[in-house]
Amino acid sequence: MVSVSIASDADGYFDRECPGDACQFKFKVHEDDWREKVRDEEVHCPFCGHTAHANAWWTQEQLKHTEKTALAHVGHRINRAMKRDADRWNRRQPRNSLINMTMKVDSRPLHLPLPPEAVEPMRLKITCPRCECRYAVIGAAFFCPACGHNAAELVFSQTITGIRQVLNALTDIKATILDRDAAATTVRLITENGLQNAVTAFQRYAEALYDTLTSVQTPRRNAFQNLKEGSDLWHTATGKRYDAYLSNTELQALARYFQQRHLLAHTQGIVDADYITRTGDTDYHIEQRIVVHETTVFDCLALIEKLATGMASDIPPPKESES
């Protein structure tokens, strides 16, 4: 039995790696929670949701270290055995023979490789709202490693933060692309993607919030992609429409952004009659292409956040039932 020690980082987190071939996501779990909250039978990858036994989550560095440690032990044992054999052989040689034959085996002390240093702490630390397991990731995570819980609120806030981070990095991204055409297209695609992702993030979060309300009708698929329809559903379920959370001007702006997302998704951004009727936007004529600026996306993100926060505050706290 060879025991291998693995170091945790300065914040007390262990390095882990998803064993899923397509994923190999690197993350960290607090050492106490890895021992006490994570079950041996099943660990969830925070990024892809893959599940596997607790002993399948070693990082490549930890595996290499384990291998080296095991080899050092084996080498030491072989070395000792060879020395024993040589001594035995030497003893069997006649003392008074003319030729003196002895065997010599260097006996080296056991040299154990130093354990690899833990990867430096990750900034994004998450505590699972359901089981309180503490874990850390880079970028984004969607599942708790201990209980597999997918926290809608967490995913929503991470998506919104992520879009903002990318928009803020846009100048730097553009500067790294030498080809001016490619640079302009990249900036446009990232900006338009930001708008589409913002609306999808809201839709998914609104669906999740709506789902927590008891005895509500199942909404039409994508109902929360439509502001009016979503507002009506919310009204039936909670007695409040979106205008309880946003002013008329804000709602009008948001309606325009939602419709622009619709154009990007379905007409490659070409304005149709439907868009003009639904938004009353006088900036465009039919057959023009919409222009999405970074400021549009930032504004859309702020409105979506305000609306979602308001909606979440009207969700009754979960009843104390089975723990």
Q: How far is the CB of 145 from Zn ion (least distance, A)?
A: 8
Q: In the set 48, 56, 173, 265, which binds Zn ion (CB under 5 A)?
A: 48
Q: Which H helix or E strand runs over 290?
A: none
**3-class secondary structure for 143-195?**
CCCCCCCCCHHHHHHHHHHHHHHHHHCHHHHHHHCCCHHHHHHHHHHHHHHHH
> Which of 246, 32, 38, 41 lies closest to 144 in space, CA to CA?
38
Q: How far is the CB of 50 from Zn ion (least distance, A)?
A: 4
Q: How far is the CB of 126 from Zn ion (least distance, A)?
A: 9
Question: To 10 degrees, what angle do helices 180-212 and 227-238 make?
Answer: 20
Residue 321, token pair as written in the block: 């039932």
Q: Is 50 in the site for Zn ion (CB under 5 A)?
A: yes
Asked if 115 and 65 touch (Cβ cutoff 8 Å), the reply is yes
Nearer to Zn ion, 106 or 322 (CB): 322
Binding range to Zn ion, per CB under 5 A, among 139-147, 239-247, 271-279, 311-319: 139-147
Q: Is 265 in the site for Zn ion (CB under 5 A)?
A: no
Site for Zn ion in 72-131 (CB under 5 A): 128, 130-131
Asked if 141 and 46 touch (Cβ cutoff 8 Å), the reply is yes
Site for Zn ion in 12-31 (CB under 5 A): 18, 20, 23, 25
Q: How far is the CB of 4 from Zn ion (least distance, A)?
A: 23
Binding range to Zn ion, per CB under 5 A, among 46-54, 191-199, 288-296, 302-310: 46-54
Nearer to Zn ion, 6 or 147 (CB): 147
Identity of residue 219: P
Residue 217 CA to residue 222 CA, distance in Å, equals 14
Contact residues toward Zn ion (CB under 5 A) are 18, 20, 23, 25, 45, 47-48, 50, 128, 130-131, 133, 144, 146-147, 149
